[in-house]
């Protein structure tokens, strides 16, 4: 994997030696993945600290749900949800905080509160002032592919060639970001698993993730608890959140998430965005070790300890 260093305020993210983990912190009442468990400021702060203890390299704070068919909230409401959490976390943790938002004013206020990365699922297209905010404050941006909007993206998404179309989109938004004063050294891309894709599209993007390495920026991927995992495991469409047995399904869905994470890392992901940081930390430790071992380091190793097989 190519190495990159990205400055995030007083923090530096180094890519190439190991896969980084972005821990998800939803401060919303309608998150499909956690049922709004961390909607209160105090609960969100406590969970954010736990994500750091579990091994997160970045905390991604979001105040507006992006689940399929979700509706937007106002700037004022989104700020009310996320700013106290970011401000409190920034004083107590030693890793960067990203703000998951499509709104430039939310991003601006979040940066002033202590965030140092913008994670924009609309790739700077939803708000024409977002690029200017990112450039003004010199913060990294995560540019994601999404077909449509959260309210419309899962209405029969279609591609002639999902890999080439998503790659072309990301190439174009990188160029757009650079034209708006954002350095390429501050750009991270995300193919947008679950955002305007069928089950097959998601699987192909993970399987062919290495195709995006030629864009020469770090790749983030977020398969965590996405509906395609539930669809495969239970052989049924995800349906509306009211139809899901979240509590009973979650152990299986989380196992499926770890499988998707492992595959994504093997195919070139530099960052994985997940809910279960502790579990992902263990998965990545093994997968990174597999990726980094070379035959030259073990051939003729007379002092290597033999592997013990139990059972």
| Separation between Cα atoms, residue 246 and residue 31, nearest integer Å | 11
Selection from 262, 254, 263, 260 nearest residue 283 by Cα: 262
- Can you list the positions of beta strands (E) in the chain? 4-8, 11-15, 20-26, 58-62, 97-100, 117-120, 141-144, 187-190, 220-221, 271-274
DSSP string, 243-281: G--HHHHHHHHHHHHHHHHHHHHHTT-SEEEES-HHHHH
Q: 221: exposed, middle or buried (C-beta count within 10 Å: 0-12, 13-18, 19+)?
A: buried
Active site residues: 226, 273
Strand duo 58-62 + 20-26: pairing: parallel
Burial 3-24 (b: 16+ CB within 10 A, else e): eeebbbbeeebebeebbbbbbb
The position carrying tokens 């600290």 is: 49
C-alpha to C-alpha distance for 62 and 19, rounded to whole angstroms: 22
Tokens matching residue 70: 């979700």
Cβ neighbours of residue 59 closer than 8 Å, sequence gap 6 or more: 22, 23, 25, 48, 51, 52, 89, 93, 95, 96, 97, 98
Q: Is 138 helix (H, G, I), strand (E, B) or coil?
A: coil
| Residue 210, token pair as written in the block | 């290495």
Binning the chain into helix, strand and coil, the percentages to the nearest 5 are 45, 15, 40
Tokens of 133: 């905010």
């Amino acid at each position: 994997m190519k190495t990159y260093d990205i400055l995030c305020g007083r923090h530096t993210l180094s890519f190439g030696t190991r896969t980084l983990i972005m821990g998800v912190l939803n401060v919303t009442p309608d998150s499909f993945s956690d049922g709004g468990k961390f909607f209160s400021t105090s609960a969100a702060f406590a969970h954010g600290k736990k994500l750091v203890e579990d091994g997160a390299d970045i905390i991604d704070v979001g105040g507006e749900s992006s689940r399929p068919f979700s509706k937007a909230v106002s700037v004022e409401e989104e700020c009310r949800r996320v700013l106290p959490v970011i401000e409190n976390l920034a004083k107590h943790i030693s890793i960067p905080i990203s703000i998951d938002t499509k709104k430039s004013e939310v991003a601006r206020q979040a940066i002033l509160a202590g965030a140092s990365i913008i994670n924009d699922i609309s790739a700077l297209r939803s708000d024409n002032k977002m690029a200017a905010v990112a450039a003004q404050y010199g913060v990294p941006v995560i540019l994601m592919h999404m077909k449509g909007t959260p309210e419309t993206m899962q209405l029969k998404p279609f591609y002639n060639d999902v890999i080439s179309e998503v790659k072309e989109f990301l190439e174009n938004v990188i160029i757009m970001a650079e034209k708006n004063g954002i350095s390429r050294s501050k750009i991270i891309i995300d193919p947008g698993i679950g955002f305007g894709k069928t089950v097959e599209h998601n699987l192909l993007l993970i399987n062919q993730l290495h195709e995006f390495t030629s864009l020469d920026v770090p790749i983030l991927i977020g398969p965590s608890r996405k509906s395609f995992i539930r669809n495969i495991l239970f052989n049924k469409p995800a349906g509306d959140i009211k139809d899901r047995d979240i509590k009973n399904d979650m152990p299986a869905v989380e196992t499926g998430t770890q499988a998707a994470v492992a595959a994504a890392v093997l195919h070139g992901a530099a960052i994985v965005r997940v809910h279960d940081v502790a579990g992902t930390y263990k998965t990545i430790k093994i997968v990174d070790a597999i990726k980094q071992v070379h035959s030259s380091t073990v051939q003729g190793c007379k002092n290597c300890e033999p592997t013990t097989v139990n059972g």
